[in-house]
Structure 1
Amino acid sequence: MGGFDYGNQKALCINEEFVTLWLAKITLTPKMQKENPKTIEKLINYQLRCAKVLHEAFMSTEKQKQEFFNEMGLTGEIVELKGQIQQNTKELIDTKTQLNTLIDSSTINSRQAQKLLHCAKDRIGTMLGGAHSSKYKKESRMYFKNLWLNFCKEFEVSTYKDLNPSHYNDGFRFINNWSMM
């Protein structure tokens, strides 16, 4: 005939008391949404109502919540998570302290030092009428010496190369605003 088997067939039966749970547990997929949007909408509404009923039954009061957590064995896990959070917080604070110490003790790299030196040369060159002027040739050493002495005093370093990277931009501002006293 038409390819149908009308003989004995297996059937899956669900006890009536589990039907509601089964409906609440159905995973809704995009394919189901596309093929049966009205059914999906009904299932979503049903599942939301189930969630509300279950919440009211097991968690509507603080006492019920505590009993639920105790029964499910979640209390220990929550305490354990709090301990882990405290440990992670302590480790983050330690890491931040180490990072701040590292930043406080770091110095600019050689390229940054070269840029500061170039800025100083430009500043003094401008002040003395250019790098090829006779005034520059006579007085530039004294100007550089004073600039770097003032620079080191301002930033509390022994040489401009020891400048902390966090003060790098301030170093340029200092040089560009510096004048011989």
Structure 2
Amino acid sequence: MGDDSEWMKLPIDQKCEHKVWKARLSGYEEALKLFQRIEDEKSPEWGKYLGLIKKFVTDSNAVAQLKGLEAALAFVENAHVAGKTTGEVVSGVVTKVFNQPKARAKELGMDICLMYIEIEKAEVVQDELLKGLENKNPKIVVACIETLRKALRWVLQGLARPGDGD
């Protein structure tokens, strides 16, 4: 258990990149709490995570990935710099989340896409979802269609928030 005590001392961003999935899980949990706690959307703290958000959604461990998706959603909801991550994160959602067997993962992936649309990155999201329609995995194609449908419904109905009321 000596390894455990070593990674536990690391800062959040380093835990999120650790080779041990339990360390990453811990990092994502701490990042989620941090993202919910930062009150200033322009805090320099957000910048530390710009290059990591794609890793949150593409984690190879399903348990860690689920927590990473929650943290990524909180990031997109609260950080003014979130728009800079749109293409890479949505691409990761399409390829690594929409093929997951867990419904919660797919739901969070869709919520992340819809949140990017809410922060006015609709064109980038649309492009990535349309690329997903060409995927050979039918699960990914279906999830892309469903996300596009939800986005269109939200836009056409003028819902207060993506995902609500579906």
Instruction: Judge same fold: TM > 0.5, yes or no.
Output: no
Higher helix share: 1
Alignment TM-score, normalising by the size of structure 2: 0.23
Alignment TM-score, normalising by the size of structure 1: 0.22
